[in-house]
Amino acid sequence: MSVFDVILKLILEHEGGKCNRVHDSGGKTNRGITQSTYDYECGQMMENKKVKPEDRFQYKDVYDLTDQEVYKFYKYLFNKCSANQINNPETCYVFFDAVINHGQGGAIKCLQHVCNLKEDGIFGPNTEAMANSLNQKEIQKKMLIYRENQYKKSKNYEYNKNGWNNRLNKIRQQIEKGIMPNLQQNYNNYQFVQQQQVVNKPKQDPVKYLHEAIKMQQIPDLTQFEIPIQINFNQQVPDAFPLFNQYKLQRKK
C-alpha cells in the first residue's frame, strides 16, 4: 500500500459521508470533497490543454461521486498541491489533511510558516527543500498548532470546535504511532542485503530498481536479481540512507 493510499484511508475516516451543514463554510460536501472545490477543479481541467479529455473530471453533483471518482480526485489533488514531494509520510499526512481542511493555499502557507519561509502559498523548491530537511516531528507539531489557531479565527468555531479539535488530536495520536507500521515491520523482517536467492533476472539493473523503489517508498525485493549483487550503497544509492534513518533500520553488511 502506497503512502497516498494510507493517507487517503485516514482522511476518509475523518471526513465521513455526505453533509451540507449551515455552520460549515464548505457547503455541500461528500467525503471531504466540496461542490465548489470539485466544480473549480473541473473548470481548471477543461482549460488545461495538456490534460487528455478522458482524464478530465466531469461536472456532476458531488453526492453522486463513485468510490473510484473520489479516489481519482484525491490523487489528483495530492499531486497538484505537491504533497507527493514531501518525503516523510507523517508530515505528508499532516500537510495533505490541511489541504482538505484549509485549502491548498492555506496548507502551503501553514507549512511555510513553520519552516520560517515567506508565506506566498506557492510550493516551490525552497518550500520542498525545507519541508524535507528540517526536524520532521517539529514540523508536524507546529503545523497542528498553527491549524488549531486558524480554526479559532473562524466565525463558526463554536459550532465546529469539538469536531476540529478531535480531528487534530486524532492526527497527533496517529503520527506519534506512525502511519506506516506495516512498512516498518516488513523492513525490519526483510532488511537490505547484497546477496539474495535467485528467482528471476528483471530487465532493469538493481541500482535503478532500488532508486525507483525508494522514491516510491516501496519495499525493494532484491530476490529478483542474480547473485552476487554488486552495489555500493554509499556511492550508487545514497538516497537509501534517509529511508534507513527515517524508519530506524539497520542494514546488513
Segment 199-231, tens digit of pLDDT = 344 455 666 666 666 655 555 555 554 444 444
pLDDT at 2 over 50: yes
Do residues 174 and 208 share a domain?
Answer: no
Only one residue has cell 488549531, namely 148
The C-alpha cell of 54 is what? 478522458
Do residues 15 and 58 share a domain?
Answer: yes
User: Does 97 fall in a domain?
Assistant: yes
**Helices 89-102/3-15 angle, 10° precision:** 40
CATH number at residue 77: 1.20.141.10
The answer to whether 11 and 32 have CB atoms below 8 angstroms apart is yes
Do residues 40 and 159 share a domain?
Answer: yes
The C-alpha cell of 119 is what? 508565506
pTM above 0.75, yes or no: no
User: 1 to each of 8, 9, 110, 181, how far by Cα in Å?
Assistant: 11, 11, 28, 11
Segment 147-194, tens digit of pLDDT = 999 999 988 888 888 889 999 999 999 999 899 865 444 444 433 433
The stretch 111-123 carries a mean pLDDT of 96
Judged by DSSP in three states, 23 sits in coil
Q: Which of 59, 17, 55 is nearest to 37 (CA)?
A: 59
Number of Cβ atoms within 10 Å of the Cβ of 151 = 19
User: Does 143 fall in a domain?
Assistant: yes
- Exposure string over 207-241, b if 16+ CB within 10 A, otherwise e: bebbbebbeebeebebebbeeebebebeeebeebe
Q: Kind and range of the H or E element at 41?
A: helix 35-47
The C-alpha cell of 203 is what? 530487465
Judged by DSSP in three states, 18 sits in strand
CA dist 201 and 224 (Å) reads 6
DSSP state of 211: H
Do residues 52 and 173 share a domain?
Answer: yes
Overall domain count for the chain: 2
Do residues 164 and 206 share a domain?
Answer: no
Do residues 107 and 135 share a domain?
Answer: yes
Q: Which amino acid is at 194?
A: Q
Q: What percent of the chain has pLDDT over 90?
A: 52
The parent domain of residue 210 ranges over 182-246
- Of 178, 195, 217, which residue sits at a domain end? 178
Categorize the per-residue pLDDT at 239 as very low, low, confident or very high, splitting at 50, 70 and 90: low
- Of 161, 178, 195, which residue sits at a domain end? 178
Do residues 96 and 26 share a domain?
Answer: yes
The stretch 24-48 carries a mean pLDDT of 88
Do residues 111 and 9 share a domain?
Answer: yes
Determine whether 166 is exposed, middle or buried from the number of CB atoms within 10 Å of its CB (0-12, 13-18, 19+): exposed
Do residues 23 and 46 share a domain?
Answer: yes
- Of 178, 195, 219, which residue sits at a domain end? 178
Categorize the per-residue pLDDT at 198 as very low, low, confident or very high, splitting at 50, 70 and 90: very low
